[in-house]
Amino acid sequence: MKQLYTSFEDAVRDIQDGATLMVGGFGLCGIPENLIVALANKGVKDLTVISNNCGVDDWGLGLLLQNKQIKKMIGSYVGENKEFERQVLSGELEVELVPQGTLAEKIRAGGAGIPAFYTPAGVGTPIADGKETRVFNGKEYLLEEAYTADFSLVRAWKGDKMGNLIYNKTARNFNPMIATAGTITIAEVEELVEGGELNPNEIHTPSIYVQRLIKGEQEKRIERRTVKNA
């Protein structure tokens, strides 16, 4: 049995100033939105956040940006957040942009205990500045170091009380690999069932990677609503 919480504030209570966080999601899809709100309310600051992007201006990680709680953002995409742009241009926010595939592999490697790997992505660009390169079979590769975090915050569709998780369709995105790479992984689930109720063949994140569980309802906002004329 994992630590089960009924309060999102309690679930993040020991996340302190200066912590490094990994946060699941892609845009607003699959984000642990209630855990993020709890962090915003807590007021913890000087955070280093590793996530694909930083939400939108008024939701997701954008809430932490508004509160000036993020010191450094590591991600691959920033196009939907004007406050992000403003803070970068004003020098208020440190940013490390990483190719999306490299970001995914740096997180996966961290969760697998692999300290670094070589990739062709970024060779010959500013991303390679100051990094080691090596030639394999006549092609140049860039050495990238893995990412780990003090806490990983993920969102799952279903979880059991043992900590096994299942994600729903594209909400799976970065969540499984992020779940493996945090010292403490906190899972926000839409539906919580008893141990043994999930089909073992359908589990995406095994319980060994999850330390805390909490059930909550999500708003599931749409990042950019597109409609077709009738």
Tell me the DSSP string of 83-106: HHHHHHHHTSSEEEE--HHHHHHH
- Tens of pLDDT, residues 9-30: 999 999 999 999 999 999 999 9
3-7: average pLDDT: 96
pLDDT of residue 113: 98
* Per-residue confidence (pLDDT) for residue 127, from 0 to 100: 93
Query: Could you read off the pLDDT of 185-210 as tens digits, one per residue?
Result: 999 999 999 999 999 999 999 999 99
Q: Is the pLDDT of residue 48 over 70?
A: yes
How many Cβ atoms are within 10 Å of 58's Cβ, its own excluded? 12
Q: Give me the pLDDT at residue 1, please.
A: 60
How far the first Cα of the chain sits from its last, in Å, is: 51
Whether residue 135 has pLDDT greater than 80? yes
What pLDDT is attached to residue 2?
79
Is the domain defined by 3-114+146-215 classed in CATH 3.30.365.10?
A: no
pLDDT at residue 225 in the model? 81
- The per-residue pLDDT for 226 is 85
What's the pTM value of the predicted model, to 2 decimals?
0.95
65-115 confidence digits (pLDDT tens): 999 999 999 999 877 788 998 999 999 999 999 999 999 999 999 999 999
Instruction: Tell me the C-alpha distance between 79 and 195, whole Å.
Output: 40
pLDDT digits (tens, 9 = 90+) for 150-180: 999 999 999 999 999 999 999 999 999 999 9
